[in-house]
Amino acid sequence: MESSETSLTRHLASEAQTLALGEALGRNLAPGLLIFLSGPLGAGKTTLARGLLRARGYRGKVKSPTFTLVELYELSSLYLYHFDFYRLDNPRGWLDAGLRDYFGTDAVCLVEWPEKAAGTLPAPDIEVQLAHAGDARDARLVAYSSAGRRCLSGVDA
């Protein structure tokens, strides 16, 4: 069973609360983090990513990179790569696209639809699982590494 230090849950009654959770994560990012964003269509993955980027000072448009596979955000103190693997037909598709070099660097990598690359991605530091809860969303955040636990420890309880 996971300790309270390595996971937390949130009920997100609005888009503003999803943005706020992303902002809380964004304030605690460290270079090298790999964060998986899981959940069905419309669960708030890109909204959470938008909040995370806003916390780091990014004010531009944030869209899911469904057709480009990856968007790069150059922030003042780090690079952040936002991946969306929804359209992958083969778990190795991201490798075939030459994206392996983005992982394991000093950048932060956010991956939407990581299950589409099952078995080929490195293990995440944090997984954010989003689910529909009527008109709201439920979020479960799990840290799998010491860097992930440090990031989650800064999210308000």
Domain membership of residue 104 (yes or no) is yes
Rounded Cα distance, 103 and 33, in Å: 9
Domain membership of residue 29 (yes or no) is yes
What pLDDT score was predicted for residue 6? 86
Domain membership of residue 2 (yes or no) is no
Domain membership of residue 122 (yes or no) is yes
What pLDDT score was predicted for residue 139? 96
- Low pLDDT (below 70) residues in the chain: 1-5, 65-68, 98, 157
What pLDDT score was predicted for residue 4? 39
**Domain total of the chain:** 1
Domain membership of residue 1 (yes or no) is no
- Of the CA atoms within 13 Å of residue 155, those in its CB half-sphere come to 30
What pLDDT score was predicted for residue 66? 64
What pLDDT score was predicted for residue 88? 76
What pLDDT score was predicted for residue 67? 60
The structure's pTM equals 0.87
Domain of residue 57: give its range: 7-153
CATH number of residue 28's parent domain: 3.40.50.300
